[in-house]
Structure 1
Amino acid sequence: WCLDSDTGTLYFWPPAGSDMRSGAVTAPTTARLIQMIGTPGTAVSHIRVAGFTLTQTQAQFPTPETHYKIPNSGQAIYMENTADCTVENNRFEAIGGDAIRLQNSNARNRIVGNEITDAGGYGIFLGSVQRGFCRGDTTSGDVPGPTPWHNFREDREVVVNAWPKSPGHLIHNNHIHHVGVFEKHACGIAFFGISAVDVVVSNNLIHHTPRFGIGLMSGFGPITIERNELHHLSMETCDTGGICMNRWYTYDKDPDLARGNIIRFNKIHDVIGCGAGSIRMEPGKGEQADGRIWSPYYGWAIYFDNGPMDVLVYGNICARNVLGGIMLSHYARNITVENNIFVDSDNSQVYLMLAGDTSNIRFRRNIFCYANADADFLRLNIDPGREPPDAIAEFDKNVFSPAPGGKITFCGLPGEAVVRTGMTTQTDGGHTLESWRAMGFDRQSLVADPLFVDAANDNYDLAPSSPALKLGFKPIDTAKIGLVPDDDYS
C-alpha cells in the first residue's frame, strides 16, 4: 500500500486471492482502546482485563516530539498510576501503536498469557519521558552516557530523582511477534526512562521484530529476565541484540536501585541484523539490493551497550548470531558470565570492548562451540596503556570447541590478543591460546567436544560424559524455557 498525502489517495495492491468486492475495509478512529489512569496518591487498582481481542487502532507516527526511543505511538491498553491490575489472555492484532503501555509510575501489575501480533509499535512498553534534567541529553530523554555519568557526580541524583519508579511487575508467558510494523526501534518488551524495581520478565516467546527482543534503555533498577525464548530478531536494524541493555545503571545511594540485573536460562538464537550506509561499521556476511543493504549484520545475542553494571548472565543458550553470543561495552563493571552455551556465531563468540574504567569482568564455566573455520573465539578491544588483566578478573574453566581442525583464535593486531581502541587499522591476528593463558586466563579450560545431544536440531542438552560437567557446568533445564501452560503462572 502507499498513501499519496498530497492528493489523499491510498493505493493498495491486494494479496493474491483477495476479493476486493467482498472484502471489508475498516478505518480506525482512536489510538487507544482501554485506559486506566489514576493519580500519584490514588492508584487505579485491582482491575482485570481478560479474554478480549483488541484490534484496529490508529498509528500516530510521527508525533511532534518523536524520538527513536520515546514511547509516542498510541496504545491499545494504557496504564498510568495503577497497582495490582492484570492484563491476561487477550489477543492484540493489527494495533497501530503499542499493544500495552505502562507509563510513568505503576506497581505490581501482571501482564500474562497475551498474544501480540502485527503491532505498529512495541509489544509491551514500560516507560516515561523526562527532559532537561541535567547537562546530558536534553532532547531524547536518555540518561547520561557512561563518561559523564562517572565524571559528574552532581548529575546522578538529579537524574535518579527524575525517573519514576515502576516496581513489582510480572510480564509472563506472552507470545509477541511481528511487531514494529511502523516503528522500527520497536521490540517485544521494552523499558525506557524509568526505575523498574524487582520486575520479572519470564517465559515469553518473542520473535520476528525489527529490533531487540527485550530492551532495557536509559534507566535503573533490578530486572530478572529468565526462561524466555527469543529468535529471528533485529530483522530491520543493526547495532542490536536479542537482549539489549543500554545505559541501564545501578545507583548505590538508593537501596531499590543498588542491585543489578539477572539474565538467566534464556534461549536466544538467530539475531539477524540488517544495515545500510556508506561504509560497513562491522563485519557481515550477506548483501542485498546490489550491496546497499547488508544482512546478516552487526548484532549479538546479549548486548551490553554503554556502561553495564552489576549483571549476572547465567545459564543462557545463544546460537547463530553475527558478532557474538555476548558483547560487553565500555565502562562495564561487575559482570559475571557463567554456565552459558555460545554456539556458532559468525565472527566471534565473545566481543569485549574494555574501554573506560572497565573492571571485575568474569567468564567461567561456559561452552564455546563454533563450526565456522574463519570465526574467532574472542574479539577484544582495550584502551592504550591497559592490559586485559586490568579489566578481566577471571576467565577460566570453559570448554572450547572450534571448527574441526581449527585453532582458537583472537581478533586483534598481528601477534596481539587485543585491538587498541583508537587505532586506525585493525587486522585479524594470530594470537594463540597459549599466549592467552600466559596472561592468567583459561588455564583450567578444555579444548574438547561438549557432546551436545542433537545440536543440528537445536538440542544443546549435554551427554552424561560431557567434559563441561567435569568442570562444574550445571545442566540447563531447557524444558522450562519459553511458553508454559496457562495454569503455570507464578
Structure 2
Amino acid sequence: MYVWSREGGIGERKIVLSTGEYVIGVHGTEEELVRNLHFAGLDVAGGNGDVVEFMGVEDCSIRFCLIENGKGNGVEVHGRAQRVRIYGNEIREQGQHGVALQGMGPPGPDVNFRHVVENNHIHHCGRLVGHGYGVRIGQSGKNRVVYNHIHHMPRYATTIKGIRYQSLREQVEGVTFENRHDFLHSRENLIAYNDIHDVNMDSQDTGAMESWGPGRDNVYDHNLIHDVGNDRFNLQSGIYLDDASDYFTVTNNIIYGVVGTGGDQCIFAKGIGNRIENNVLVVGRTNVAGIRSMEMGGERCDGHEYAKNIVVFEPPPEPPEGGFGERLRDLHGMGTVLEWEVEIPASGDYGFWLRYTTSVEMGGKTAISVDDGESVALEGLGATGGWDHWKWRKVATLKLAQGKRALRWVNVEGGGIDLDALVLCDDLEWQPEGVELTEPEAGKHRVVIQAEWSPSDRRAAYEFINWSEGRIARADGNLFWNGGREVMVEGGPGSGALARWQGQGFDGGSAVADPLFVDAEKRDFRLRRESPVLKMGFVPIEVDKIGLKEDFPRRLAAE
C-alpha cells in the first residue's frame, strides 16, 4: 500500500482505510421490508461504497448525524424504498453524491417515493468523480428536498433524472408519446427553500439545478441560486430544464452570479409546458440571456409560460484594459467597425498579425485600412477549433509611414470572430507564439494593439436559439430593467428591441422600469415598498426562510 500525504510526512498520524461496502446498511426484501428503524446523533465515516444505504425499507430515518468520507454517496436510498427521512445532517467529502434517491429504471415499477431530504448541509462531494451532485433523484417521485445548504460540487447541486422520450421509446417496448410519463417515476418532486452556491465548479453544459428526461409536474420553488459555474467551460445555467423536462413549475427563485465562458444564462428551458413565474433573474455581465430555450434531439420545446418575473441586467462590462485574454466579442454583425490610433516608430513594410478565435471560415470577410486608404482583405482566418482555441495568423502586409496612423478594421461580410490582439512588426521573419511575445530582430520594431473597448451589449431578456411555433404560450406581466439601456430579445420573429417582440403579441402587459431592490450591489434583492413590480402582481420572495433551519445541530454547524 502506498500513501501520498497531502500535508507532508505521515509521522504519527492515524490513517484509516475502509474495506466494508458501507458503514450502515439497512436492507430489506420484497417479502420482508424493514420498517421504522431510525438513526440519530451519530458520526458515520468511511465505506468503500456508500456511507449509509437504505433498500427495501419504509418509514426509516437518519437525523442529526455527521456523514463523511464515503467512496460513493453519503446516503443512498435505493430500489424499493418509501418515506425515508434524511434530516439535519452534515453530509460532506463524498466520492460521488451527497444524497441519492434511486428507483427502478423503465419499465420497472414505481417503488421509490415520498422521501424527505430536509435541513441538511451538503458540501464538497464529487471528490472522486467529476459528476458529483448534492442530491440526485433518479426514477423516484413525490420527494421533498427542502431547506438545505448545498455547495462546492463539481457538477449539479440537484438533479432529477429519467430518460428522454426519443431514447425511452427505443429502449422499452410499448412506449408512445402519449403514455411516456407512465414509465417516468421521477415526478411530482418539490425542491424548495435551498441555498445553493459554488456548484458546477468543474463542469460544462450544466445547471445548478438540473433535470433531464424526468417525469412531469416537478416544482422548483424559493431557491437562492448564486455564484455558480466556472471560468473554464461554457453553457452554465442557474436552472437547466434539459431535454424532455416537461411541465415544470419554476417559481419564486432568485438567480444571480452565473459565470462561464459563453452561452451562459439564468434559466435554460427546454421541454413542454414549463411555467416560469415570479422569479428574480439577474443577467450577469458575461451571460447571454435571462431565459434561453431551444429544441433539439427530436424533443419538443413548446407551451412555455414566462410571467411576473423580474429580469434585470448587471451593468455591461467595463472597457477591457488591454491585456491578453480580454478578447473583443460581439463583432459578428456585418459592418462592425473597430478603430485605433497607433504610433508607428519607423516607415516600412509591416507584417499584420491577428490573435483570433472563430468557429467558421472568416478568410477574406474582414478588412483593414490605414488613414482612410484602400481596404486590404484579411486572409487565412480559418476556424480555430472552438471559441476557446486561439490562433495567431499573419493576415496582411501593410506599408506604413512613421508617425500616428489611424487603423480601421471592418467585418465586411459578417460572421463570428473574437479578437484578442493585433501586432504590427517590420521584421517580416518574426512570428508570435502564445501570449509572451519575443522581441524582433535588432533594429526592427513591434507594435502591439490589444482590446480597449467592446462595441456592444448583446445580452437579451429571452434568447430563442431555434424558434418554433407554439414555443411561448404566454409571456406577460414581466418587469425588465437594463439600467436605462435597450432591452433586447434574440431569435424568432420578435428578435430585436423589446417593442418588436411585443408587436408579436407577447409581453403586452410587461414593463421596463427599475424594480427598486433594497440593495442590488450587496445582493439584497428584496423589494422596496414603492417598487413598481408590486403593482403588477409580483409576490415578494421569502428570502429569510431559505436555507438551513434553526434546529440544525450546533455541533455540526461548528464543524
Task: Normalising by structure 1, report the TM-score.
Answer: 0.74
CA distance in 1, matches of 2:243, 2:109: 19
Paired letter, 1:116: I
Q: Is the 8 A contact 1:271 1:320 kept in 2?
A: yes
Q: Please name the residue that 1:268 is paired with.
A: 225
CA deviation profile, 1:353-388 (whole Å, cap 9, x unmatched) = 1455333211110000111433222211235xx44x
Paired letter, 1:317: I
CA distance in 2, matches of 1:94, 1:487: 21
Worse-superposed segment, 82-91 or 367-376: 367-376
What is the CA-CA distance between 1:188 and the residue it aligns to? 0.4
Q: Please name the residue that 1:380 is paired with.
A: 464
What is the CA-CA distance between 1:10 and the residue it aligns to? 4.0
Mapping of 1:30-179 within 5 angstroms? 30-58=20-48, 74-128=49-103, 130=105, 159=106, 161-179=107-125
CA distance in 1, matches of 2:478, 2:226: 21
CA distance in 2, matches of 1:452, 1:243: 25
Q: Please name the residue that 1:63 is paired with.
A: none
Aligned residues: 382
Q: Please name the residue that 2:487 is paired with.
A: 408
What is the CA-CA distance between 1:411 and the residue it aligns to? 3.1
Paired letter, 1:245: S
Find out whether 1:186 has 2:132 as its counterpart.
Answer: yes
Paired letter, 2:462: L
Find out whether 1:439 has 2:429 as its counterpart.
Answer: no
Over 3 Å counting, the alpha-carbon distance change for 1:129 and 1:103 in structure 2 is same
Q: Is the 8 A contact 1:31 1:96 kept in 2?
A: no
CA distance in 2, matches of 1:267, 1:108: 26
What is the CA-CA distance between 1:417 and the residue it aligns to? 4.4
Q: Max radius of gyration: which structure? A: 2
Name the Cα RMSD after superposition.
2.0
SS in 2 for 1:486: coil
Mapping of 1:207-286 within 5 angstroms? 207-218=151-162, 219-220=184-185, 221-250=187-216, 260-273=217-230, 286=231
* Structure possessing the higher relative contact order (Cα contacts under 8 Å, 6 or more residues apart): 2
What is the CA-CA distance between 1:456 and the residue it aligns to? 2.1
Paired letter, 1:44: V
Paired letter, 1:474: V
CA deviation profile, 1:148-203 (whole Å, cap 9, x unmatched) = xxxxxxxxxxx3x41542122111000000000002111000012x242x211100
Q: Select the residue among 468, 472, 478 that pairs with 1:398.
A: 478
What is the CA-CA distance between 1:43 and the residue it aligns to? 1.4
Q: Is the 8 A contact 2:311 2:481 kept in 1?
A: yes
CA deviation profile, 1:84-141 (whole Å, cap 9, x unmatched) = 10111111122221110001111111100000111111100011464xxxxxxxxxxx
SS in 2 for 1:162: coil
CA distance in 1, matches of 2:85, 2:494: 47
Q: Select the residue among 249, 268, 283 that pairs with 1:312.
A: 249
Q: Is the 8 A contact 2:479 2:511 kept in 1?
A: yes
SS in 2 for 1:479: helix
What is the CA-CA distance between 1:336 and the residue it aligns to? 1.0
CA distance in 2, matches of 1:37, 1:213: 27
Find out whether 1:460 has 2:403 as its counterpart.
Answer: no
Q: Percent of aligned pairs with the same residue?
A: 28
Find out whether 1:299 has 2:236 as its counterpart.
Answer: yes
Paired letter, 1:377: A
SS in 1 for 2:500: helix
Q: Please name the residue that 1:5 is paired with.
A: none
Q: Please name the residue that 1:144 is paired with.
A: none
CA deviation profile, 1:219-259 (whole Å, cap 9, x unmatched) = 43210111111111100111111111100023xxxxxxxxx
SS in 1 for 2:113: coil
SS in 2 for 1:125: strand
What is the CA-CA distance between 1:444 and the residue it aligns to? 1.3
Q: Is the 8 A contact 1:45 1:84 kept in 2?
A: yes
SS in 1 for 2:291: strand
CA distance in 2, matches of 1:53, 1:195: 27
Find out whether 1:327 has 2:240 as its counterpart.
Answer: no
Find out whether 1:480 has 2:545 as its counterpart.
Answer: yes
CA distance in 1, matches of 2:4, 2:542: 50
CA distance in 2, matches of 1:393, 1:101: 39
CA distance in 2, matches of 1:412, 1:261: 28
Q: Is the 8 A contact 1:104 1:164 kept in 2?
A: no
Paired letter, 2:538: F
SS in 1 for 2:521: helix
Structure 1 runs, 4 residues or longer, greater than 6 Å off? none
CA distance in 2, matches of 1:435, 1:363: 17
Q: Please name the residue that 2:292 is paired with.
A: 351
CA distance in 2, matches of 1:195, 1:405: 46
CA distance in 1, matches of 2:59, 2:247: 29
Q: Is the 8 A contact 1:398 1:446 kept in 2?
A: yes
Q: Is the 8 A contact 1:380 1:417 kept in 2?
A: no
Find out whether 1:368 has 2:325 as its counterpart.
Answer: no
Q: Is the 8 A contact 2:72 2:97 kept in 1?
A: yes
SS in 2 for 1:271: strand
Q: Please name the residue that 1:11 is paired with.
A: 4
Paired letter, 1:261: N
Over 3 Å counting, the alpha-carbon distance change for 1:33 and 1:186 in structure 2 is same
Give the unaligned 5+ runs of structure 1. 1-7, 59-73, 131-158, 251-259, 274-285, 287-293, 419-430
Paired letter, 1:178: H
What is the CA-CA distance between 1:22 and the residue it aligns to? 2.6
Task: Normalising by structure 2, report the TM-score.
Answer: 0.65
Give the unaligned 5+ runs of structure 2. 163-183, 317-456, 554-559
What is the CA-CA distance between 1:485 and the residue it aligns to? 1.5
Paired letter, 2:38: R
CA deviation profile, 1:30-88 (whole Å, cap 9, x unmatched) = 23001111112321011111111111333xxxxxxxxxxxxxxx111111110110111
CA distance in 1, matches of 2:219, 2:126: 26
Paired letter, 2:10: M
CA distance in 2, matches of 1:211, 1:483: 21
Q: Is the 8 A contact 2:276 2:307 kept in 1?
A: yes
Q: Is the 8 A contact 2:119 2:552 kept in 1?
A: no
Q: Is the 8 A contact 1:334 1:361 kept in 2?
A: yes
